[in-house]
Structure 1
Amino acid sequence: MILGLLMLFGYCFLMWLIFFKLKLAKFGIPQAVIGVFVGVHLLIIFLIGLRFMAPLATEARIVQYTVQLIPRLPEPTLVTAVLVQPNVAVKKGQPLFQFDRRPYEYKVRQLEAQLAKARQNVLVLQADTQIYAQKVIKLRADLAYAQYQQKLSADLAAKGAGPQEDAQKWTAQVAADEAAIKEAQAEAARANLNYTSNINGVNTSVAAVQAELDQARYYLDNTLMVAPEDGRVINLQVRPGMVAGDIRAGAIASFVVDADRYLLANYFQENLKYVKPGQPVEAAIDLYPGQIFRGKVLEVWPGSGAGQMLPSGTLPNFQYVPTDRPQGQFAVAIRLDDPDQARFPIGTQGRAAIYTNPESWFVPLRKIMLRAYSWFNWVYPFSG
């Protein structure tokens, strides 16, 4: 910068010495045009130095994370109470909205009764396994008796001491008892499968009702919506009597988070050649005319939507871009050093300068320009 100042001063001195002091040449229109042309090109030195040693973002704004408050309820539910005031700070876990609990309490009670019944049914299944086991034992005894009677009647019939019909009758009875035993064994196996159908040591029928009950309790807990983090609700439009739930599209309110806010500034891409995280920053915030806030570069966002292409069957069709259109810009996230971050609400605008080389002589010139902008905010815009 010193070299540029010396060159500019020397050039102005030579122009004055030649044309006005010594009058070695006449200062006319051609000399004026050439002089201005050369002088403007000397001023490019300052433009280049400022753009790369102290790039300035003319558009910077405070960004805060927002959480869309969407009721996690399975059906449209009445809002019974609004427990938060608009634009008032709340702490994490503080109640915000109360929804009608009654439908979900009824569901929980219903499932609690079904769970008790399911647990009793497990005992019934256990008793059934014992009943069918005893039934098999009884049928085997009947089969043994029928087989004895069959043999006895068959022997008597063979000797002519008994009717042939008795032997046939007991043969049929043996077949019936054998079939009854197989049926009872199948019933016993079915009862045992139902009784021993477990998951993690719990009967599946009980586990299924327990899962439904847990879900019902989850929805019951969600009838009270609480703050996800420290922050505030802006533009609160929720009122008691409003119906919210899965039929409604979108959130019922936006929750602005206090933590991790940052200043997002847009820079021309070529000006970011020497920008690195950790470099010092000064910002002029429009909300505070005449004040300068210091900070540091958090990160450079190396990309923009101009390079994004969505999947489609259409080939890229590049159009001519007029030279007077603004160049593509990249965003730089900046953390302001002020201990009271609440001074910078979401959407606050301003300008920010990054000092890529704080020792450069161009930095004081950028500081002067940034402070001039900040003080000019006292009178601009001219709103009267």
Structure 2
Amino acid sequence: MTIAILILAAYAIFMWLVFYKFRWLKFNIAWGVVTFWVGIHVLFLLVVFLRFYTPFSIDGHVIRQTIQITPRLPHPTLLEEVYVAQNERVKKGDKLYQFDTTLYVAQLQEAMATLVSNRQNALSLQEDVDLAQDSRDEAVARQQYTAEQVTRYADLVPKGGAKQETLDRWNSELATATAQVAQSEANLNKAQLAVGAQIDGVNSQVVSAQAQVDQAQYYLDQTTIHAPEDGTIISQQARPGLVVGGLRIAAIAAFIADADPYFLATFYQEHLKFVKSGQPVEVALDIYPGRIFKGRVKNIWEGTGQGQILPSGFVPEFMFMKPQGRFAVEIDLDDDPALVRYPAGAHGAVAIYTGGGGGWVADLRRINLRLYSWMNFIIPFDL
């Protein structure tokens, strides 16, 4: 809009000089129509050249990675200490919050006791196998002896060498011995299965108990929250006495990371027709009025939320008059690629120079961008 007004103003001054100041031509209805027609087309061509060969956006922002500080505790837990203040810079590993550990220490001790007990039980399982094997061998030996006695008396009874009652007693003992063999074999199989219940060579009960210990240790560790990386705490609302855990799902603070910030500017889709990676860029940041920062196009985010349909049970609605989504262009600033000096959310205007349309088009856009930057000294008008 600014550059359009400047073009109209320059054209109006030129017409004033021609028709009124120097009177090179006499103004009449015909010249009025011609002047209007030429002015409109000149403005139209200039606007088209500027839009496509030097795309401009006033929607540029510094974006920083944000981590939500959310306690991961399964039970309602009291916040005891807060080690960080609002807007305070911290280093990776610094203590941020300390919660009550009483319940989680008790759970860890209980799990460790179960682990010790299960380890002892695992050691005794092989002894159970040995005892079951001995019992089976004894039962088999008794079965064999009883079977020999049955065979012996079965041969003597018909010859009158033994009584029938004796043979009947040994047959009864053979049936009992056979049942004992079957029982001892079942006990042996059960003991062997208990020994064989392993995961990667470790008894399953020991593995289960170890998992409970690891889980208890994990939640105990979560009672102390450390800084995940270098950054700044924003919106620190937690104070000692706060109870978290259980059903609480909201974060207690926002953490702005120092690493991997980037600068994004959004453009109408048609304005990016000639934009490519590596093209020069100028940025006017609102926090630095009167300054222009140089940069390069890193890449174009060729996608918007309008190009995504989320899975749901609803039929999508397509609104004919819904405004088009703007594409984001990521920009590298030459003087500070890491954006160390720029806070998250820093706003500014961006101009991309594609090289088309001649140098005068780029010059007009540079004037436009510098006017925007200098106007930041007085706009907005809140004294």
On whether the aligned pair clears a TM of 0.5, the verdict is yes
Give the 3-state SS of the residue equivalent to 1:342 in structure 2. Answer: coil
Cα distance per residue 1:82-107 (max 9 Å; x no partner): 22222111122222222222222212
Contact 1:78 1:243 in 2 (8 A): yes
* Aligned counterparts of 2:307 and 2:198: Cα–Cα separation in 1: 55
- From 321, 325, 329, the counterpart of 2:326: 329
The residue type equivalent to 2:105 in the other structure is E
* Aligned counterparts of 2:18 and 2:81: Cα–Cα separation in 1: 80
Aligned to 1:367: 366
Give the direction of change, closer, same or farther, for the CA distance of 1:13–1:378 in structure 2 (3 Å limit): closer
Aligned to 1:377: 376
Compute the TM-score of the two structures, normalised by the length of structure 1: 0.87
Aligned to 1:352: 350
Give the direction of change, closer, same or farther, for the CA distance of 1:317–1:215 in structure 2 (3 Å limit): closer
Deviates more, 1:78-87 or 1:40-49: 40-49
Q: Residue 137 of structure 1: CA displacement?
A: 2.0
* Aligned counterparts of 1:254 and 1:274: Cα–Cα separation in 2: 39
* Aligned counterparts of 1:216 and 1:49: Cα–Cα separation in 2: 66
Compute the TM-score of the two structures, normalised by the length of structure 2: 0.87
Give the 3-state SS of the residue equivalent to 1:79 in structure 2. Answer: strand
The residue type equivalent to 1:357 in the other structure is G
* Aligned counterparts of 2:241 and 2:14: Cα–Cα separation in 1: 77
Contact 1:262 1:336 in 2 (8 A): no
Q: Residue 353 of structure 1: CA displacement?
A: 0.8
Q: Residue 187 of structure 1: CA displacement?
A: 0.3
Give the 3-state SS of the residue equivalent to 1:343 in structure 2. Answer: coil
Cα distance per residue 1:25-57 (max 9 Å; x no partner): x42345324313312322333322322222110
Give the 3-state SS of the residue equivalent to 1:219 in structure 2. Answer: helix
Q: Residue 245 of structure 1: CA displacement?
A: 2.1
* Aligned counterparts of 1:113 and 1:54: Cα–Cα separation in 2: 71
Give the direction of change, closer, same or farther, for the CA distance of 1:22–1:176 in structure 2 (3 Å limit): closer
Cα distance per residue 1:305-358 (max 9 Å; x no partner): 23434456766665553xxx8654221111223337232111121111111129
Q: Residue 277 of structure 1: CA displacement?
A: 1.5
Contact 1:78 1:99 in 2 (8 A): yes
* Aligned counterparts of 2:249 and 2:20: Cα–Cα separation in 1: 77
Aligned to 2:273: 273
Identity across aligned pairs (percent)? 42
Aligned to 1:16: 18
Aligned to 2:204: 204
Give the 3-state SS of the residue equivalent to 1:294 in structure 2. Answer: strand
* Aligned counterparts of 1:347 and 1:107: Cα–Cα separation in 2: 44
The residue type equivalent to 1:306 in the other structure is Q
What is the aligned length? 372
Q: Residue 14 of structure 1: CA displacement?
A: 12
Q: Residue 182 of structure 1: CA displacement?
A: 1.2
* Aligned counterparts of 2:325 and 2:153: Cα–Cα separation in 1: 108
* Aligned counterparts of 1:317 and 1:197: Cα–Cα separation in 2: 56
* Aligned counterparts of 2:238 and 2:315: Cα–Cα separation in 1: 46
1:183-198 equivalent positions in 2, closer than 5 A: 183-198=183-198
Aligned to 1:146: 146
Q: Residue 224 of structure 1: CA displacement?
A: 1.7
Q: Does 1:39 align with 2:39?
A: yes
Give the 3-state SS of the residue equivalent to 2:114 in structure 1. Answer: helix
Give the direction of change, closer, same or farther, for the CA distance of 1:86–1:180 in structure 2 (3 Å limit): same
Give the direction of change, closer, same or farther, for the CA distance of 1:350–1:204 in structure 2 (3 Å limit): same
Give the direction of change, closer, same or farther, for the CA distance of 1:317–1:83 in structure 2 (3 Å limit): closer
Contact 2:76 2:243 in 1 (8 A): yes
Aligned to 1:338: 335
* Aligned counterparts of 1:44 and 1:209: Cα–Cα separation in 2: 77
Gaps of 5+ in 2: 1-6
Contact 2:305 2:325 in 1 (8 A): no
Contact 1:267 1:330 in 2 (8 A): yes
* Aligned counterparts of 2:257 and 2:112: Cα–Cα separation in 1: 38
Aligned to 1:177: 177
* Aligned counterparts of 1:328 and 1:161: Cα–Cα separation in 2: 111
* Aligned counterparts of 2:145 and 2:27: Cα–Cα separation in 1: 143
